[in-house]
């Protein structure tokens, strides 16, 4: 879920209806923000920014065409594997949270106003990124690597096609899902919306559905294959099903997640992450096939690994994080009000911030691991600070 962008305006609920938790006794009509979701979204955005820094300095192929890392065992253990596992499910949590707030927003605004606001809130940053930000970033990287001596205008004119949304592919996907759900809501107004309870069996079935459909999608769109706007279609089964699961939960009164099921999700995360780490290390050492093509999709036994890991982590990770923040991080953190106001903006500005810091440190003769320890935290802080001041500008507040 990119940032659940409608949350900053729509996520107030009566204190008698906490998410995924036993409801407390009825309270007066006073309302407050769901503080634990605010805190979770702040952590999620910080994690996304750090993960993008791992792509630059880890063992993979880089981020936005720029890479300084090496395929060593330390880079793989410290940056590569955590970044890969996080990439398999981290954004799915955003889609789950976004789906939770769609039914209430639709009921209050109606399909037309809801869809129009989403197109403005998500479409304007997306368009600006595609037309301006990504060409400028790619040109800056090309100049830094001495790949071109052209002017920015001549270079951009030749490279703007195919259109690339960079990290805002997530925004494009969320916009599509939101408008599609508004249409679905209009077409099936009398669908059942009764009370429900979240059970282990339902979560297992959801994880299996994500794994199966992801495997099928990757027969057509392998991992990291190029698509229009870089839409990450190979992960859409996870995103669509989690978005739907969030909306389903909201339509059924924010059903409970018991302590037993919550702890079970935690165990599932540990076991799956450990198994995935062993498999990745086996591939790294040559005990398993090393070609990424085999694991990215197709009718190979290797291609089932990632969908299975993704299905478990997407469901168990999302639910465990929601339960943990509801139970343990449900008070306003220092600077929390400022951070939540700028979390969407931080996601939007992160690419030029992180890439700018990486290019500035390009000539520093220090290990790439140390560069990561500089770029990641500075990128997180700078992204939130810049976003906070951006949303104070006239006109920007409505968009970010």
Residue 127 placed within a domain: yes
| Residue 366, phi then psi, degrees to nearest 5 | -130, 160
Residue 189 placed within a domain: yes
Residues 6+ apart with CB under 8 A from 392: none
Number of domains in the chain: 1
- The larger pLDDT score, comparing residue 202 to residue 154, is at 202
**Range in 16-25, 69-78, 119-128, 253-262 with the lowest mean pLDDT:** 16-25
**Residues forming beta bridges with residue 204, ordered by sequence position:** none
Torsional sign, CA 160, 343, 261, 81: positive
pLDDT tens-digit readout, 61-120: 889 889 998 777 777 778 888 888 888 889 999 999 999 999 999 999 999 999 999 999
**Is residue 22 helix, strand or coil?**
coil
> Could you tell me the pLDDT band of residue 25, with boundaries at 50, 70 and 90?
very low
Judge whether 320 and 15 are in contact, CB under 8 Å.
no
Write out the DSSP string of 213-270. Answer: HHHHHHHHS-TT---TBT--GGGHHHHHHHHHHHHHHHHTT-----HHHHHHHHHHHH
Q: What is the mean pLDDT of the chain?
A: 87
Residue 123 placed within a domain: yes
| Residue 166, phi then psi, degrees to nearest 5 | 55, -140
Residue 114 placed within a domain: yes
Judge whether 98 and 249 are in contact, CB under 8 Å.
no
pLDDT tens-digit readout, 28-44: 434 457 899 999 999 99
> Could you tell me the pLDDT band of residue 157, with boundaries at 50, 70 and 90?
confident
| Boundaries of domain holding 73 | 7-399
Res 13 pLDDT > 70: no
Residue 144 placed within a domain: yes
- Residue carrying structure tokens 């096939």: 289
Residue 150 φ/ψ region, left for φ over 0, alpha for ψ in the -120 to 50 degree band, beta for the rest: beta
CA angle 126, 129, 131 (to 5 degrees): 110
How far is it, in rounded angstroms, from Cα 300 to Cα 239?
Answer: 24
How far is it, in rounded angstroms, from Cα 90 to Cα 43?
Answer: 11
| DSSP alpha helix (H) spans, 129-151 | 134-144
Res 149 pLDDT > 90: no
Residue 1 placed within a domain: no
Residue 2 placed within a domain: no
> Could you tell me the pLDDT band of residue 300, with boundaries at 50, 70 and 90?
confident
The whole-model pTM stands at: 0.88
């Amino acid at each position: 879920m990119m940032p659940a962008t409608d949350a900053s305006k729509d996520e107030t609920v009566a204190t008698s209806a906490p998410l995924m938790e036993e409801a407390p006794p009825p309270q007066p009509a006073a309302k407050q923000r769901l503080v634990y979701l605010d805190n979770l979204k702040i952590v999620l955005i910080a994690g996304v920014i750090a993960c993008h820094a791992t792509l630059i300095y880890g063992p993979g192929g880089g981020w936005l065409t720029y890479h300084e890392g090496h395929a060593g065992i330390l880079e793989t253990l410290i940056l590569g594997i955590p970044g890969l596992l996080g990439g398999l499910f981290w954004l799915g949590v955003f889609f789950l949270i976004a789906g939770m707030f769609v039914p209430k927003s639709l009921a209050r605004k109606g399909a037309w106003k809801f869809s129009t606001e989403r197109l403005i809130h998500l479409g304007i940053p997306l368009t600006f990124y595609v037309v301006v930000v990504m060409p400028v970033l790619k040109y800056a990287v090309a100049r830094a690597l001495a790949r071109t001596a052209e002017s920015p205008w001549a270079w951009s004119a030749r490279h703007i096609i195919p259109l690339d949304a960079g990290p805002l592919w997530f925004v494009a996907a969320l916009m599509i899902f939101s408008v599609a759900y508004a249409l679905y809501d209009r077409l099936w107004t009398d669908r059942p919306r009764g009370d429900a309870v979240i059970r282990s069996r339902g979560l297992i079935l959801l994880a299996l559905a994500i794994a199966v459909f992801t495997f099928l999608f990757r027969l057509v769109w392998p991992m990291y294959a190029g698509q229009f706007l870089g839409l990450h279609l190979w992960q859409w089964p996870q995103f669509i099903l989690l978005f739907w699961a969030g909306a389903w939960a909201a339509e059924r009164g924010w059903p409970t997640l018991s302590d037993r099921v919550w702890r079970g999700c935690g165990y599932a995360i540990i076991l799956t992450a450990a198994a995935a780490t062993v498999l990745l290390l086996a591939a790294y050492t040559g005990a398993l096939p090393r070609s990424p093509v085999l694991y990215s999709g197709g009718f190979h036994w290797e291609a089932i690994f990632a969908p299975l890991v993704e299905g478990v982590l997407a469901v168990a990770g999302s639910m465990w994080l929601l339960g943990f923040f509801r139970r343990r991080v449900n008070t306003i953190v220092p600077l929390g009000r400022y951070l939540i106001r700028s979390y969407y903006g931080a996601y939007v500005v992160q690419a030029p911030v992180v890439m700018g810091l990486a290019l500035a440190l390009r000539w520093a003769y220090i290990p790439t691991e140390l560069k990561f320890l500089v770029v990641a935290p500075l990128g997180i802080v700078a992204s939130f600070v810049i976003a906070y001041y951006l949303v104070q500008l006239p006109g920007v507040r409505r968009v970010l």
